[in-house]
Structure 1
């Protein structure tokens, strides 16, 4: 597997991963009814440095890296990760997170923060913890889950 910067040729494979994930409405605090243009505008936004995880010519995952805040908070990185449904459980998210931590260091970030990790996303929470992130805050009932109703979200953080 290779993780590399996304190119224009990756637009539709990225859309094939991001659109159904957002439409499911169970992991990202983003509207679930976005059309393709809005999905791409969100994921490929001007502040995002976007990468893809590719194996044998197939895009298996994508992530973006950005500053979590501006001004006095621009030394803290933020990322979003998505893995293709048929590639889950194969270490893609771990590889992308490890890559993003290194890339964040290269860009001069001092830490990384995830602002809204949905408490029902237990696989992601376990992985982030294994990779050194801690839950530093709980946002009670901050996410309206399509199956579980209002659930907590976590702020997760680690130094680089």
Structure 2
């Protein structure tokens, strides 16, 4: 598996699993029914953000996007989002993408990474992020309308990237 910057030609290969994950309604609050072109802006970042893909030959196994969480005086904190193609789950792709994003954000000089909306019932993601050092620093109650569980919380998760000697 190789993780590299996403290119325009990758989007039509990302979109099918993006659309499937969004339609499942369990992890992202993106609008339903986005077309290929409408969805592009929700996932394919422009600088200073970036989108990456995990590939095995011609197959895109997953993707992540990252960039500043807020502009201006908040731009020293990054944020990121991740999607693993459902056909390739449970093979360490999410972990590899997570480690790549952490390393990339650290190298880019970010002092922390903040996830703004991790669905609390997405225990696979919550467990992964905790194992990579993220802390759940708060939960917004009933902020996500889950198709199976109704209104559930969204975790705000945070990872310190700063040098402790600062």
1:152 offset after TM fit, Å?
A: 0.8
Structure 1 residue ranges, 4+ long, deviating more than 6 angstroms after superposition: none
- The residue aligned with 1:143 is 144
Superposed CA deviations along residues 24-45 of structure 1, whole A, max 9, x for unmatched, are 1110121122222111121014
| CA distance, structure 1, for counterparts of residue 114 and residue 155 of structure 2 | 10
| CA distance, structure 1, for counterparts of residue 149 and residue 38 of structure 2 | 26
| CA distance, structure 2, for counterparts of residue 34 and residue 25 of structure 1 | 13
Provide the alpha-carbon RMSD of the alignment: 1.1
- The residue aligned with 2:28 is 28
Equivalent residue of 1:152, what SS?
A: strand
CA contact (8 A) 2:55 2:61 kept: yes
- The residue aligned with 2:89 is 88
| CA distance, structure 1, for counterparts of residue 46 and residue 9 of structure 2 | 17
1:155 offset after TM fit, Å?
A: 0.2
- The residue aligned with 2:120 is 119
- The residue aligned with 1:8 is 8
Q: TM-score, length-normalised on structure 2? A: 0.93
1:69 has 2:70 as partner:
yes
Equivalent residue of 2:144, what SS?
A: strand
